[in-house]
Amino acid sequence: MGDLVLHLDNINKSFGGLSALSDVNLHVEEGTTHAIIGPNGAGKSTLLNVCIGRLKPDTGKVTFAGEVLTGRQPHEIAQLGVARVFQTPEIFQEMTLLENVMIPALSHRDGAFRLNATELLSKQGEVREEAEHILEDVGLKDMMMVEAASLSRGDKRRLELGMCLILRPRLLLLDEPTAGMARHDTNQTIELLKKIKSRGMTKVIIEHDMHVVFSLADKVSVLARGQIIAGGDPQSVREDPKVKEAYLGGTT
């Protein structure tokens, strides 16, 4: 712990004159869980999109573990060990849960492209075992032959989390992993995220639910109107008057 591993330096991004991120600087310590909170439209999702290569920042650069991520293709960034859980689950709806997890498992094993058209899927025992193991971790093993489209919203999120975890990412970006979940499901997800905390990966988590933030985060940054207005450990951020004004006072 202690080494800074993810750096966002002077990130600017605007959409047609509307500034979404202005001069954002963020540094995340290795192995910690860093929460980004802020009101709607503060630019939180934009920030994650810049990290994974979905959006190109106008200026500034993102570095992860010594590698510059800015300007790289999304699949290259993913191969460097950056995985993301989206706000609306991005899963393979028409496929079974097992297949959903097998695809990232194969991607982790084979890299970005491999012409393995002569192998048989049914012979990939190790990958399959790994996939079943992950499904067990996220509590979906009983349903592994079920089509993903038939899952509840909460289960879809857990599936997506499983799909990210099997990549053994070094950096996991979570975009509101508990949004729209019932309290019971939220608590389960918190437990799950705590469990994987011990595996030493760095996590950046965007969250609205303060209960989730304060049970998981080591550090909190507050984003409002495209700028980081406060940062530090959860307790000090909670008591920061600026934060109360911008965010906490209004919604919680």
Q: What residue ranges bind other proteins (CB under 8 A)?
A: 52, 73-75, 78-79, 83-84, 90-96, 99, 102-104, 106-108, 110-122, 124, 144-147, 163, 167
**Which residue reads 């939180």 in tokens?**
44
Sign of CA dihedral 128, 130, 133, 134: negative
- Is 185 exposed, middle or buried (CB count within 10 Å of its CB: 0-12, 13-18, 19+)? middle
Min dist CB 205 to other proteins, Å, is 17
Beta-sheet strands, E only, within the chain: 4-15, 18-29, 33-37, 59-64, 67-68, 82-85, 171-175, 202-206, 219-224, 227-232
Min dist CB 148 to other proteins, Å, is 9
Q: Could you give the 3-state DSSP secondary structure of residue 10?
A: strand
Nearer to other proteins, 111 or 200 (CB): 111
Nearer to other proteins, 18 or 145 (CB): 145
Nearer to other proteins, 49 or 189 (CB): 49
Min dist CB 104 to other proteins, Å, is 5
Nearer to other proteins, 18 or 115 (CB): 115
Min dist CB 151 to other proteins, Å, is 13
Nearer to other proteins, 1 or 115 (CB): 115
Angle between helices 153-165 and 125-137 (to 10 degrees): 130
Min dist CB 165 to other proteins, Å, is 12
Task: Please name which of 155, 140, 142, 14 lies closest in space to residue 91, comparing C-alpha atoms.
Answer: 155
Q: Does residue 220 contact residue 247 with C-beta atoms inside 8 Å? A: no
